[in-house]
Every structure is written in structure tokens, then in C-alpha cells.
Structure 1
Amino acid sequence: MELGDAYGDLGVGMTRKRKRDDGGNLLSNFSLDDLNQDILERVLSRLPTSAFFRLSSVCKRWKSVAASSSFKYACSDVSARDPWFFMVDPHLDRSIVFDSTEKSWKKLNYPHVLQSRHHNLMPVAASGGLICFRNSSGNFIVSNPLTGSCSELPPVELDQKNQYLHAIVMSSDRDGCKGSYKLILVHGQLPKLRFKVYHSTTGCWDDNVTLSRKVDDSIEFNFNDDTVVYFLSRTGNVVSTNMQRSPSKQYSSVIVNKNGEDLIYFISSSGTIMACNLNKRCFVEYPRLLPVFSEYSIDVVECQGEMLVVMLSEFLETASLRVWRYDEDARTWHQIAALPPAMSHEWYGKKIDINCVGAGDQILICMNSNELYTYLLCDLVKNQWTELPKCNMNGEAVEFMSAFSFEPRIEACV
């Protein structure tokens, strides 16, 4: 792994003897070299992930620790790590991440297996320390972006007549062993939806499962998903009600677990939010946030185990970026965060597409248009919005279409 920024020598300050004016402290002669192997591994496993790849340059003992399987096991005991954001550039030929802890960009070595054996790989989902890619043949490859390890999943067989993919999500498999994962596909033509699950523990795909529509008389359904309406915008441009998403987010979807039930949310081509309950094998369409003849860009994210919607809309000659939560009991949308108007006004009329990803209490928003590109990090707890610094690699500014959130874990197995 190669990092795009510099770090100090990990040895400095860690093994140097501490001095006190009184000279009588038992810790004055203590160093990390005095720890046994097990304790040393546990101490080093708490370092920031970016530091792991410098361990081998400190000393021979630390190099041995970094390569040991017991060290990876110690890393797996760390319950959570601050997220990294895997950025998707238009060329799909490099791995650049944003470290949310150090607030910096890093360049990883693009996995050799992905680079040499597969072409046109598009990241489509992420979970834990893994990212899932899909190639032009429709096959899936799961990779740990830190170690470069990859595994191609068995080919998936979908109903040829109803193979349109709506959602691709990845999550930990609670029914499997530690570190196992599952990949879930939702496909078919509305209202005839099905889902299919791959389990890493068994290494195979389950059979298709049909989803039935959950009837809710309070919501007006529109399942004629192939119908596209065109209308004139306020500026005189022809606008389509059919969602035109960037290639990397055409399967924009999230999975959450509520009361032991897996729920998948995705955006239909008409711009509405669809909720699929995998345990009850049913789905429902949520009410629209805005009228059908409105201009907006929308995306769905998962934060702290719940689904949120991010929407960029235009009204009264200004742009508005807001975050919404759906109230299941009241069956209405509630705003929970909004970008200050002074920051969003410049985007009015720029035809910006937003692609978002959630991580804990944060949402990373990639904003792209022919005129500008920028990236915002929203802290939902503080309602604080921060613009990320521009990414420059080898003196060249790099633009990104979207991002995927993952936990940087060297122990994650494919």
C-alpha cells in the first residue's frame, strides 16, 4: 500500500524513555520493547489504520508483528474505526480515499488483480472493510482496498426477462461466522420485484425470492415505472422525470436492520423511495418529497442504522440542500438538516448531480456538474457542513463522481 501523504517516524516518542523532574517514577525506564508479544500486538492494533503500513519500517520486531495473523486478530477486536471514503473517479483506474480521521487524501495501490484481469470495474457496494465491484459481464468482485486481496463471486443467474437491477447492497452476515458478509440484489420490473442473496460463508447464491406489494391506502402508488414525463423548467430547458444517475450510483441503495428485520431502500427511476422488507418479503413506495414536476437531485444514505434522503432542489432562484427522515408512524417526511443558504446559492442553475454516502453521523456529498465539482461533509449531530479540500495527485487536480464508505481494516477477508 502506498499513501499519498507523509507521516512521522512511528518509533519517535513510542520507545523513548520518559523523564520526570522528580526522577522517581517507575515508568521512567519503560519502553514498548518491554511488552510481551500479545500485549504489544494489542497496543499497536489501536493505532490509526494509516500507521499500520509504517510498522515494518520501525524495527524488526514491529515488522514481525505487522505480518502476524495474531496481530490481525487483535485488530478485529477493535469494535469500530473511523470511516474512510473510497472515491470513484471517471477513469476507474486508481484508488484514492479520504481519511475522515486525519482529514486528508490518500492514494492506495490499485489492486493488481483488479487491474490486470478485469476491465470496466465499477464499485457498487461496500460493507465493513470490503468493497464490491461489478464488471462489464455483470459478475461481482469483492476486494479489501487496503491489502489488495480480491475474490470473484460465482456468476449470478437472474431471470432474463426481469433482470433490471434496482439495488445492490452489502452487509455483515449475522447468521454466518465472524467477518462473513452477504451481497443482496433487488431486481425485476415494478411491481414484480425479487431479491437474491450471496453468502460468503457458503460461497453461493440463494434462489430468487419474490417480493409482494404492501398495500397502504394512505399513499398513492405509481408503479408505471417505464413512463417518462417531459416538461419545461423555469429556464426553458426540457426536463425528464426519469432519474438520470451517474454510472457509479445507478444502484444507489442502502440496507438497515430494524428490530431484527433487513430493510433495503432504493430510488426508483421516477425518483420515489422504495422500501423492501426482506424478512416479510414485501415492499412499499414512500410518498414523494417534491411534486413530480420539480427539478431536483436526490440520493439515499444510511446513518446510525436509519435511512435518510439527501435532496438538492431549486426554488425562487436559489438552491437548497436538505436532509430528510421518514416518519413511519405519521407517514411523512421531516427535515433534520439543511445547508446554510449562503453556501448553496452558488449552485443555482448549475444542473448539479449529487451522489451521497453515509457513515455514522456523517454524510459525504459529491456534487458534480459541467461547471463545478465539490465535496461536502455533513455532521448531522452538530448540523455542521465542511467543504473538503481539493484533491491533488502529482500536481494534478482529481475529480470524483461519487464515494463509498468503508472501515479501513487490514484483517477484513474476502
Structure 2
Amino acid sequence: MEKEILGREESESSDSIFACELLPNHIWENILSWLPISTLVRMKIVCKTWNSIIQSKPFLKAYTSVSHRDLYFVLFADFIHRSIAAAYNPMENKWVLISLSHISSSCPSTCCKLRRALISDGGLVLAEDRKGSIVVSNLFTKSYRIIPPMMPLLWPYAIAMIEGNSNSSYKIVAVSTADRVYSQVYDSETNCWEAKGELDGRFAMLGKAVYLDGFLFCLSHGPDNLLAFDLTNGTWSIVEVTMPSLVSSHILVHHKRLILVGGVEELGVMKRIGIWELNSSKKRWDQICLMPDHLFCKFSHGNLNHFITVDRQGKLCFCKSTSSLVLMYDMSENRWWWLPPCPLGSSLNKNSWFGHAVEPRIDLLV
């Protein structure tokens, strides 16, 4: 009986491989191009035919012609035991585990293990590896690129990454805020940093920036302002707008509008979390909505000093870096829901936070 079962399994396996070879490659290219990247990554190991098709230039061209809505919120990671991250897919309402170890295709003995994520955009993440190098990584294709060190300004830090039009082009903007704002820009096509713009005025720090119509917009803290950086000309300006008094503030772009998220305090206690939209004509932020009281009560658990917002495609994750309790809000659907339990729950600690949303693209090779 055992031999019969094994024989049947071998026959079914050989039949499936033979079936793959019956269809011409261009038909497989069309079929596979409609699948999400998480499925494609698994399908690459099914057979050599599919692996070859998925890595071919005709397939990448077919894949980019399809509008994919893949989205993953990579929120927590186990950097110590397994070098793995937990990513939530809102389309399927489930978590997947992603390896943070990248093997170099040109040198298989070289391994890059991510230690801390800095910024992200689209399908790319800028992170530190365990050797202290700064790398640009595609978490799904496992490709990465070590970039040169930033220019020697005082304590520079990255605030934005902007994907370009081509498959491998991107820019990174970093700033130093010692006695004024100094900025430098990394261009992947030249593989070097360039000093580009400065702004008078002392700020404690700048938040992560968002890109809209050729400008980077970011929040400054201490004092609180909305700043704009012209990426082409390298010039900074302070946007004339009245800033509400908020804690844990976060800025994002939704439908070509600037959106502000933050916590409202009363007598030093955070009482609610709100969302505002920039009203440019009246130079103010207009409130869109507040987190419902019953959700805020559960999220804050009676005492909330700080929270983190991660966003992409109008979906917002509200998190506390040391807790796996995560609340999501969809701005387009005006819908709130709790994420299912994170599969890394037993491994979470104060160093487990990853906190970036990515739109994985198999054609985006660094």
C-alpha cells in the first residue's frame, strides 16, 4: 500500500510538471502576472519552468502592466532568534512572516541581516544591518544594496525615500538639525550623496517626510511647524499654517491631500486621537474624525503617553511599539478594526518594533 501511495504521488508530481510545460511561456507570463507577489515568491520554488518565467524580462514587463494592490504592514520583528518579521496584509486580514536575512546572488557566502528599519517608500526599505552598514532592501525579492555613508554632518538622519520612475531609481533625503537644518540627498543612479539646501532656525528634530507634487513635507518638533523641501531646487520653507497642539503627531498623504494624525492632551493626559486635513486656503488643519471613544479606551488601556502611526494607501495602523495590540483605520471606507494576534507575540520586546508599510513589487530590483 505504501509503495502504491508513493507511486501515485510521484506520478501526480510528474504530471503537474509536464502540464506546466504544455503551455507556452507567454501564456504562463499572462497568468502569473495577475498573482500577488507573496504567491509568486512561493511559486518560484514549485518548478524550474515557473522560476525561469518569473525572473524573465518579458514577465517583468507583463507584471508591471497589471495594477497590483499588494500591501503589507511590517510591524514587528524578531531580530535576535530568527531574524524574521511579521507583516499584516489588510486585503487578506492575516499575518505573514518575512525573513530579514538576504543572501547576495553574486556572492552566496555574503549574508545581510537587517537590524533596524529607518525609512521606506513603495517596495523599498532603508535599514541598518548587523554590521552597521546602511542598506536599501526589497524584503520580498531579498535583493539589497549597501549605500555609501552619509556626508559628515553632525548627527545626520534620514527622513524620506522617494522611488523614481524607473525600476531601480530612488532618492534618499537626510538632515542634520544641530544649529540649523542641513540637508543632503542620495541618488541611486549616481550612488553618492550631495549637499542640497539648508534652513535657518533650530529644531529639536524633524519627523519623517511625505512626498507630494515635487515637495517633501515634514513636521518639525521643538518648535512645531510644517516644513516643505523643494526636492528639485533644494530649498526649504516654513508653511504658513496654524499647528494644533498634538503629541505623537504624524503626517501622511491621501488622495493628494496632506493629512495630520495626533493625540490631544488635556491637563497632561492624552484624551483622544484625531485626524485632520490641511486647508491651504484658510491656513489651518480641519478635523476629519476622532478615534471612537470605546476603541480609544481599549487602545490606551487607561494610560497612553505615546503611540505610533504607520500608513499606506489611506490605511492607518495605530500601534504601541511594545504591544501587539494594533488598531487599523481605512480612510476611504471609514472603517475601524483590530488586527488579529501577531504570530510573534511571545517574542515581542522593546526592540521588536519594525514599523513600515511596503507595497512589494517583484520588478523592483535594487
Decide which of 158, 183, 186 is 1:195's aligned counterpart: 183
Partner of 1:396: 346
2:174 to 177, 185, 189: 185
- 1:176-224 alpha-carbon deviations (Å, 9 max, x no partner): x44311111122335x222211111122222x122346xxxxxxxxx55
- The corresponding residue for 2:262 is 311
Q: Is the 8 A contact 2:75 2:85 kept in 1?
A: yes
1:157 aligns with 2:151: yes
Residue 156 (structure 1) shift: 1.8
Residue 324 of structure 1 pairs with residue 276 of structure 2: yes
Change (3 A) 1:80 1:195: farther
Change (3 A) 1:154 1:39: same
Per-residue deviation, 1:55:
2.0
**The one of 94, 100, 114 aligned to 2:90:** 100
1:275 is aligned to 2:228 = yes
Q: Distance in 2 between matches of 1:356 and 1:195?
A: 25
Which has the higher mean CA deviation after the structures are superposed, 113-122 or 278-287?
113-122
CA contact (8 A) 1:368 1:374 kept: no
Q: Rate the CA distance shift 1:269–1:89 in 2: closer, same or farther, 3 A.
A: farther
| Aligned twin of 1:300 | 251
Match of 1:168 in 2: 159
TM-score (norm 2): 0.79
Amino acid at match of 1:182: K
Tell me the CA shift for residue 111 of structure 1. 1.9
* Separation of aligned partners in 1, 2:281 and 2:133: 39
Q: Does 1:256 align with 2:247?
A: no
Distance 1:251 1:75, change over 3 A: farther
Q: Report SS of the residue matched to 2:325.
A: strand
Q: Give how far 1:119 is off.
A: 7.5
CA contact (8 A) 1:126 1:132 kept: yes
- 1:412 maps to 364
On the 8 A contact 2:114/2:127 being kept in 1, the answer is: no
- Contact kept in structure 1, 2:167 and 2:364, CA below 8 Å: no
Change (3 A) 1:203 1:224: closer
* Aligned-partner SS, 1:189: coil
Q: Which amino acid counterpart does residue 236 of structure 2 have in structure 1?
A: C
Gaps of 5+ in 2: 1-11
Q: CA deviation at 1:153?
A: 0.5
Match of 1:140 in 2: 134
SS at match of 1:53: helix
What are the Cα deviations for residues 374-393 of structure 1, in whole angstroms up to 9, with x where unaligned?
Answer: 21211112221111111124
CA distance in 1, matches of 2:217, 2:270: 33
Superposition pairs for residues 103-118 of structure 1, below 5 Å? 103-112=93-102
Residues 401/335 of structure 1: CA separation in 2 closer, same or farther (3 Å cut): farther
Distance in 2 (alpha carbons) for counterparts of 1:322 and 1:34: 57
The correspondence for 1:83, drawn from 65, 71, 84, is 71
Give the percent of matched residue pairs that are identical in Structure 1 and Structure 2.
23
Cα offset, 1:253, TM superposition: 1.0
Name 1:68's counterpart in structure 2: 56
Give the 3-state SS of the residue equivalent to 1:392 in structure 2.
coil
TM-score by length of 1: 0.71
CA deviations over 1:33-68 (Å, ceiling 9, x no partner): 765312321221111222112324655533432343
> Equivalent residue for 2:9?
none
Q: 1:211 is aligned with what amino acid? A: E
Partner residue, 1:354:
307
8 Å Cα contact 1:139-1:156 kept in structure 2: no
For residues 106-130 of structure 1, give each alpha carbon's deviation from its aligned partner in whole angstroms, at most 9, with x where no partner exists.
1112224599766883211112221
Counterparts in 2 of 1:185 and 1:306: CA distance versus 1, 3 Å: farther
Match in the other structure for 1:217? none
- Seen in structure 2, the aligned counterparts of structure 1 residues 123 and 48 have a Cα distance that, compared at 3 Å, is same
Structure 1 letter corresponding to 2:170: Y
How far, CA to CA, are the matches of 1:407 and 1:332 in structure 2? 31
SS in 2 for 1:408: coil
Instruction: Specify which of 288, 296, 320 is matched with residue 243 of structure 2.
Output: 288
User: Does the aligned pair in 2 maintain the 1:300–1:356 contact within 8 Å?
Assistant: no
Q: Does the Cα contact within 8 Å between 1:391 and 1:398 map onto a contact in 2?
A: no
Give the secondary-structure state (helix, strand or coil) at the position aligned to 1:169: strand
Structure 1 residues 351 and 403: CA distance shift in structure 2, 3 A:
same
d(CA) in 1 for partners of 2:100, 2:117 = 13
- Over the aligned positions, Cα root-mean-square deviation in angstroms equals 3.4
- Tell me the equivalent position of 1:338: 290
Deviates more, 1:45-54 or 1:119-128: 119-128
Deviation at 1:138, TM superposition (A): 7.1
2:42 equivalent to 1:54? yes
* TM-fit CA distance, 1:82: 2.5
Number of equivalenced pairs: 339
Is the partner of 2:326 in helix, strand or coil? strand
| 1:107–1:373 distance in 2 versus 1, CA, 3 Å | closer
